[in-house]
């Protein structure tokens, strides 16, 4: 098996990611209370945030699997919010990792937070080849392989071809992700003209997966998030037949410093309309 062909070896990559997620879930189950999840390790991660113990243990689980893949011959550059850039071999492939997307939810004990990992055979989001998202709250595994479709718990998703609309033509359900309530307030009126009901899950990766299934009709992130948060979910949406728009363009580099707003929908016209609203 050639692990440097991520599509041809997708099952092997996904097997490792699933093991990392289940190991992390076991560790989180040992820390059910808020106090234990608020513990910091005393350092600041490469992404600029103070590293929580739960962030570190999740990342350790991922890198233990990556070490094993490298031992089997895989060459790639791993990019993670805590460790930053780690090069294995020639580093031509990219593995982008958010060990816990929605860490505020995780440390407070709220529902949606996810492990998000994607493999790309080139340097941008257009090169994404394999994606994996594990939602720790719902205990669901989402994955996608470029050209091979999107899956939930191993079964192919069966998305609707169009968004569900209310009688007045608005989206029935929109996921809104934000890190700034003031910016969200500025966009409330234009978004309300597009969508009737909103849900804020607190995890970019989880919200994107809801569009892929499609439990939600669309999602927007109205403030800037790291591309690491969105990479895996973006491929899962696209492989489900949906559309994703990035404020930084369609060839966003898979680098730690890349931040942008984004949106996703079942159809291109709705994605374009949401994109126009968040750029207002």
At 28-57, the pLDDT tens digits run 888 776 666 666 655 555 555 666 678 888
6 SS3 class: coil
Report residue 160's pLDDT band, with 50, 70 and 90 as the boundaries: confident
**Which stretches does DSSP call E strand in 40-159?**
40-44, 50-52, 76-80, 84-88, 93-101, 114-120, 128-135, 140-145, 149-152, 155-156
Provide φ and ψ at 26, rounded to 5°: -65, -40
Beta bridge partners of 130: 119, 145
Burial class (CB in 10 A: 0-12, 13-18, 19+), 48: exposed
d(CA 217, CA 253): 27
At 186-227, the pLDDT tens digits run 999 999 999 999 999 999 999 999 999 989 999 999 999 999
Mean pLDDT, residues 220-244: 96
At 73-106, the pLDDT tens digits run 999 999 998 789 999 998 789 999 999 999 888 8
Q: In this predicted structure, what is the pLDDT of residue 110?
A: 82
Structure tokens at 164: 């569900």
Q: Which residue has the higher pLDDT, 38 or 262?
A: 262
Q: Which residue has the higher pLDDT, 248 or 41?
A: 248
Mean pLDDT, residues 112-134: 97
d(CA 115, CA 101): 6
Mean pLDDT, residues 140-158: 96
Q: In this predicted structure, what is the pLDDT of residue 59?
A: 94
> pTM for this structure?
0.94
Fold assignment, 171-278: D-Maltodextrin-Binding Protein; domain 2 (3.40.190)
Domain ranges of the chain: 10-156, 171-278
Q: In this predicted structure, what is the pLDDT of residue 235?
A: 98
**Over pLDDT 90: what percentage of the chain?**
79
Instruction: For 10-156, give the CATH class.
Output: alpha beta
């Amino acid at each position: 098996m050639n692990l440097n062909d991520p599509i041809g070896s997708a099952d092997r990559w996904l097997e490792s990611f699933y093991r990392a997620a289940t190991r992390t879930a076991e560790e989180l189950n040992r820390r059910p209370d808020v106090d234990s999840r608020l513990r910091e390790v005393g350092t600041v991660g490469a992404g600029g945030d103070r590293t929580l113990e739960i962030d570190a243990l999740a990342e350790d689980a991922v890198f233990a699997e990556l070490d094993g893949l490298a031992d089997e011959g895989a060459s790639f550059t791993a990019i993670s919010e805590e460790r930053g850039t780690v090069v294995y071999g020639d580093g031509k492939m990219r593995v982008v990792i958010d060990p816990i997307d929605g860490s505020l939810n995780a440390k407070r004990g709220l529902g949606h937070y996810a492990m998000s990992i994607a493999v790309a055979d080139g340097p941008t989001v257009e090169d994404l080849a394999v994606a994996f998202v594990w939602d720790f709250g719902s205990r669901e595994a989402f994955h996608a392989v470029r050209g091979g479709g999107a899956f939930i718990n191993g079964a192919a998703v069966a998305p609707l071809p169009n968004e569900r609309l209310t009688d007045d033509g608005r989206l029935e359900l929109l996921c809104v992700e934000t890190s700034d309530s003031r910016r969200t307030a500025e966009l409330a009126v234009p978004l309300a003209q597009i969508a009737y009901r909103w849900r804020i899950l607190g995890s970019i990766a989880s919200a994107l997966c809801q569009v892929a299934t499609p439990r939600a009709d669309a999602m927007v992130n109205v403030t800037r998030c790291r591309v690491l948060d969105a990479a895996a979910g973006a491929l899962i949406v696209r492989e489900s037949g949906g559309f994703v728009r990035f404020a930084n363009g369609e060839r966003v580099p898979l680098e730690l410093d890349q931040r942008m707003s984004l949106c996703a929908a079942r159809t291109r016209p709705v994605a374009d309309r949401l994109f126009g609203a968040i750029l207002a």
